[in-house]
Structure 1
Amino acid sequence: MTTTNTNQVSTLIITVGTRQIGWRCKDGVIRSFGADGNIGYPAHINELYQELGIERGHHQDGDKTYPWSGRDLGKRYYDHCQEWLGGDFNNVELLLDKIIIETAVTQGLKHIILWATDQPEDVSWFYRRLDTLWLAELMKGKIKSLFPDIRVDIHAPKINANDTSGIREELEQLVLKEALEAFYPNNNEEFVLWIQNKGCAPAVASCVEICAAALVRQCKVFNASPDEPPEFFTTLENGTVTANYSQSFQRIPMGEYFWALEKLRIKSAWERGDFSEAQIWLKVHETRHPVSYKLAGLLAKYSNGESNDDFYRKLKEWVSSKDVSKVVNSAQIETWKTQLQKLQDNKITNLWESTLALQLTLNRENYTTAFIQFVQILEQLLYLQSINQIWYTKGWIVRDKNEPTLAELIQGWCLYKKFKEDNKWSKLMGDIRKNRNQIIHEGESVNAKQVGDIWAKHNFEGVKIPTTPEIIKKLMINTLKEISTPPNFHNLLMRSLYQWGLQYLEDAS
């Protein structure tokens, strides 16, 4: 049995078919309500009527007759349990769903919805005789006897079992809404839905699956599909034939059905550096891709400037997690650990790491934000250099001033570099500061051409028309390099994680 997909379930929807249950007869044999002597099955329905001492009759449909089946037999056994056994449903056997329900209960199951059929009277008895509303009542009685604290509801609408539009409308407006509302008022508890749609009418099974899949953005949805037993029936030594239980089941995240399409959207968001959007799309696929889901969240925090102690703690936990060790080789993990330590210990490395966020902002063509990010990195690099080279001892900045302004830092740097006022670097730095002030103080914005013009007017190489994000990135990075020698970009952690995540999405199936 698959056990890795979820450890929690709130509501289970089961579509009830005739194969769902059996009855343990006086001779100890389990006879199925769905075995009628056809397609190689034993004649259990006849034997179940005999168990009650009733001769099997027929439904009359004009000049045609159809033998009683699940609808009539289920009603008779339900009445038998209530009237003759005092409400005892112990002899009911949950052939397909026992293992699913038992597992779900251990994982917090609180609510079961049994979808049964009760077709209108204008439907031929050929179909109506197979209705499962009374089989659902037998299931409910059995489930409540085993798990009295579980809420069990039966929904048996008067809809043709082949009316897909009617079934879908009923599901959308009632059953799934009911399931969601059962727990949404308590926002502290995540809602997880399982569906089991095997063995019922094909139209019902299909509609339940479609409607459940539509919920994957609101909650976790899994298809709990029972595995067929090695053989449905076993012939005993005395010649009687007993029905067998399903011994295992598969839990399939419904979000997997959308992975091929949504993978493209996730990859696009990742490339743009919109990690919050990527994580929203990945939420449905968290079970299958937990590493990229968590990494998207970490990169989102980093790109938003939230690289505090809590961020580093969570990043360290991610790098050291078992999930990461399953998809990343040990050498790469050790490299990341080393890079993470340096990111925390070395302020200059930390600043160069942040150029990833600058690059991604440029890729999104958000030039005003990118320019402010650039100036912030530039100012911090200047400040660190003023501390490391103790500029105040040389008179390049005021000694007792703890918070030098950007203008003072630029002046100190020009003195350190021995640039005169007419030097192109002195002029460039002055214009960078002026443009920063216009954005911050006056609320102005800048476009790509205006950013490029800051360098172009001072005859810096590399400015071209049109001014692309790549051109601006090179201008900005080259300017930062003039202030501080960068580390090897291939040795920077956040860039490595960004590229690894992108490649993971490319390769993920």
Structure 2
Amino acid sequence: MKTLIITVGTRQVGWPCRDGIVRSLGADSDRGHPPHIDELYAELGLARGYHSDEPKPEFGYSVRHLGEVLYQKCQAAQDFSPVELLLDGVILADQVPKGLNRIILWGTNQPEGTPWNFRRGDTLWLAHLMAGKIRQQYPTIKVDVWQPEIAVNQTDQIRQHLEQFLVELVKDSWTSESDEALTLQIQTKGSVPQVANTLEIAAAALMRQCIVQQVIPIEPSPLFEDGNGGKRSVRSATEFNLVSLGQYFWPVERERICSAWEQGDFGEAKVWLAGYRDRRKALYQLAERLALAANWQLQDALKQLQGAQWLDAPPTKREVPKRLRSQWRAAIQERCKTNETPKSKFLKIWEETFLIWLELKRQNVSLAFFYFSRTLERLLYLRCKIEDWIKQGWLTPPEDKRNWGSNYKASFGELWRAFQKMKNLNDDARLVEQFKAINELRNKQVHSSHPLTLTDITEKLFPESSNSDWKITYKALEQLLQSVCSDDWTIPEEPLLQSLYQWGLDSLNQT
């Protein structure tokens, strides 16, 4: 979905006259502009009146009255084709084929009691003229006119009405699973500053919910050109700029995103990246998938990394080298086999070493140890199932569960003791001592909610070492995990998740 909000100003509508001159409804002999309003009233055969008993220029009919007269003329003829979209025609011609499906025209409509020298410039009827033209030219586009009755100098009221309006507009995108739920474009050129500034600020606040782009028509220079009989005709814009608001905020927010990513706060990184999906979509989607993996939803993450869902999607192809994508594709395929093999099961278990590494890096030692002991138990259990330790006699279930066969779920203590028996290790063997220490620390952690430090792990598992470096501790834990792996398992140089994480971090640091 792509929605364009246009704040309608006085110089956005033109009207072609019988003499071939296109006249602007906002040109009134001021600022060096020709007297187009006077000439339009003459074209219509109407006298230009006043909104007051006092025939003062500041009370003379202007765009509010003239716009209504022309709107009624078009409505009666059921033909809005004469209306010229001076600033926005070029935008629609480009954006409608690119998915623009809704336009909201914000016309000013100041309440009764507002002095006519201000109210006469209201643009609500210009908005209706534009709406009629757009509906006729682009019948598939939904067009709405929004004309809240607010004085243009009441900034707080404008803000309150706009915030409520925008919340309703974008609320569906807050819960949508689509990354392209809404692109919001705003065009504020020519409207009164209070309206333009309020919309720009409010739109910037929506960057987390949708992509926000500023559309800036480039007014021709000169704005008027000589026409028939020495009259000057208004010219339409032929160019515009499209600027993502993210371009303004990226230099400031990149450091925050980098920090969140580096610490493994992928959910947080995703929130901050939401405003940059138009230029960093692959990174945004990867953050979402790594957040799943960090939440123990590895299978879901792997599925969402495959093929067109991410790996072969256009944004990923643009941003990631083909060689690296080929490596990831092979790794994902190995871990996502429809009929799981011992190899695929092992590789999925091994991915959890990334979480151990990440939590140690974050100094979350207790959680890192929890992941480590869980990974160790899963590796032992996988071997138990594959090698049938019960049949081999290395693992003996309790008397009341011996008829469970392969459905028996052995405890961690039973598994490491069975491994000891299989390897014929003495009770004082270093690996057995480590198993005992892991069991003790794990029970302490679970039963007593005992927090762990690097020193606790080092003293209990690696007493010969006196290091306090998390990287050295991780390497030691990784080697311990490797020691219980089957010789048939090929241990990856690095987990797939770690490779994806590093690419994301490198990508952030390069831009």
Query: Smaller-chain TM-score range?
Result: 0.7 to 0.9
1:282 to 2:273 alignment? yes
| CA separation of 1:461 and 1:219: change in aligned 2, threshold 3 A | same
C-alpha deviation, 1:270, in angstroms: 1.1
Structural mapping, 1:5-44, within 5 Å: 8-9=1-2, 11-39=3-31, 41-44=33-36
Residue 339 of structure 2: aligned partner:
none
Structural mapping, 1:20-419, within 5 Å: 20-39=12-31, 41-56=33-48, 65-66=57-58, 68-81=61-74, 85-86=76-77, 88-101=79-92, 107=99, 109-110=101-102, 112-118=104-110, 121=113, 123=115, 125=117, 127-146=118-137, 150-159=142-151, 161-173=152-164, 175-177=165-167, 179-180=169-170, 190-229=181-220, 232-236=223-227, 239-308=230-299, 311-312=302-303, 314-317=305-308, 318-343=310-335, 345-384=343-382, 396-397=394-395, 402=406, 403=408, 404-415=410-421, 417-419=423-425
| CA separation of 1:62 and 1:487: change in aligned 2, threshold 3 A | farther
C-alpha deviation, 1:99, in angstroms: 4.2
State the AA in 2 paired with 1:170.
H
Could you list the runs of 5+ residues in structure 2 that have no partner in the other structure? 337-342
1:351-397 CA-to-partner distances (Å, cap 9, x unmatched) read 43321111223334444432231112212333455677787797544
User: What CA distance in whole angstroms lies between the structure 2 residues aligned with 1:276 and 1:334?
Assistant: 26
| CA separation of 1:414 and 1:148: change in aligned 2, threshold 3 A | closer
C-alpha deviation, 1:218, in angstroms: 3.5
C-alpha deviation, 1:476, in angstroms: 2.2
Match of 1:456 among 435, 456, 459: 459
The more displaced of 390-399 and 86-95 is: 390-399
State the AA in 2 paired with 1:335.
Q
Residue 494 of structure 1: aligned partner:
497
Structural mapping, 1:451-490, within 5 Å: 452-453=455-456, 455-457=458-460, 460-463=463-466, 469-470=470-471, 472-484=473-485
| CA separation of 1:310 and 1:27: change in aligned 2, threshold 3 A | same
C-alpha deviation, 1:276, in angstroms: 2.0
Residue 506 of structure 2: aligned partner:
503
| CA separation of 1:185 and 1:436: change in aligned 2, threshold 3 A | closer
The two structures have a TM-score, normalised by structure 2, of 0.80
Total equivalences in the alignment: 489
Contact kept in structure 2, 1:167 and 1:207, CA below 8 Å: yes
Contact kept in structure 1, 2:13 and 2:25, CA below 8 Å: yes
| CA separation of 1:154 and 1:413: change in aligned 2, threshold 3 A | closer
C-alpha deviation, 1:90, in angstroms: 3.2
Q: Secondary structure at the match of 1:270?
A: helix
| CA separation of 1:325 and 1:408: change in aligned 2, threshold 3 A | same
Q: Secondary structure at the match of 2:122?
A: coil
Q: Secondary structure at the match of 2:11?
A: coil
User: What CA distance in whole angstroms lies between the structure 2 residues aligned with 1:188 and 1:347?
Assistant: 29
Identity among equivalent pairs (%): 36
Contact kept in structure 2, 1:19 and 1:199, CA below 8 Å: yes
Q: Secondary structure at the match of 1:112?
A: strand
Residue 450 of structure 2: aligned partner:
446
The more displaced of 383-392 and 197-206 is: 383-392
State the AA in 2 paired with 1:479.
L
The two structures have a TM-score, normalised by structure 1, of 0.80
Contact kept in structure 2, 1:267 and 1:505, CA below 8 Å: yes
